[in-house]
């Protein structure tokens, strides 16, 4: 039927030598009928993940290992690279800091003396064009 929602989101980390098969198994267990074309997105980082990413509709290597990075480049796959860094104010020399070390929503973010702790680590994502 037109307008039916047929995609399945699997919110589970898959650690298996047969990632595609495991993704299909998890989808079947959720009570949905699965075909190859329903495996739309794949995120992976290891060289061993190349067959899995080749089988999905939209592969996304994340901080890929060497061989996976080479395959991604050759195939034109968008690569996601994440880097932990400190953000330092050029005027004050202080670092962006989560006040009081909070990890829940609506925490204060401010400048503080740089100490290299986890509350001063931030992820930057460089998106390939």
CATH number, domain 19-78: 3.40.50.1000
Give the model's pLDDT for residue 81.
84
> Does the predicted TM-score (pTM) go above 0.85?
no
Give the model's pLDDT for residue 13.
61
Whole-angstrom distance, CA of residue 118 vs CA of residue 50: 32
Give the model's pLDDT for residue 3.
40
Give the model's pLDDT for residue 34.
53
> Domain extents for the chain?
19-78, 84-127
CA angle 122, 100, 104 (to 5 degrees): 65
Q: Per DSSP, which regions of the chain are E strands?
A: 41-44, 58-61, 80-85, 95-98, 109-112, 122-127
Give the model's pLDDT for residue 59.
92
Whole-angstrom distance, CA of residue 96 vs CA of residue 86: 7
Give the model's pLDDT for residue 100.
79
What are the Cα distances from residue 82, in Å, to 1, 71, 85?
40, 19, 10
Low pLDDT (below 50) residues in the chain:
1-8, 35-38
Task: Decide: 69 and 79 in contact? Cβ < 8 Å.
Answer: yes
- Token output for 114: 């740089």
């Amino acid at each position: 039927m037109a307008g039916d929602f047929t995609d399945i989101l699997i919110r589970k980390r898959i650690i298996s030598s047969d990632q595609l098969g495991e993704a299909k198994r998890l989808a079947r267990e959720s009570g949905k009928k699965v075909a190859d074309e329903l495996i739309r997105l794949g995120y992976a980082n290891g060289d061993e993940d190349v067959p899995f990413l080749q089988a999905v509709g939209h592969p996304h290597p994340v901080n890929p290992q060497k061989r996976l990075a080479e395959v991604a480049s050759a195939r034109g796959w968008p690569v996601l690279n994440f880097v932990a860094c400190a953000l330092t104010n050029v005027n004050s020399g202080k670092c962006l800091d989560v006040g009081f070390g909070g990890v829940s929503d609506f925490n204060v973010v401010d400048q503080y003396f740089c100490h290299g702790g986890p509350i001063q680590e931030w992820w930057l994502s460089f998106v390939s064009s």
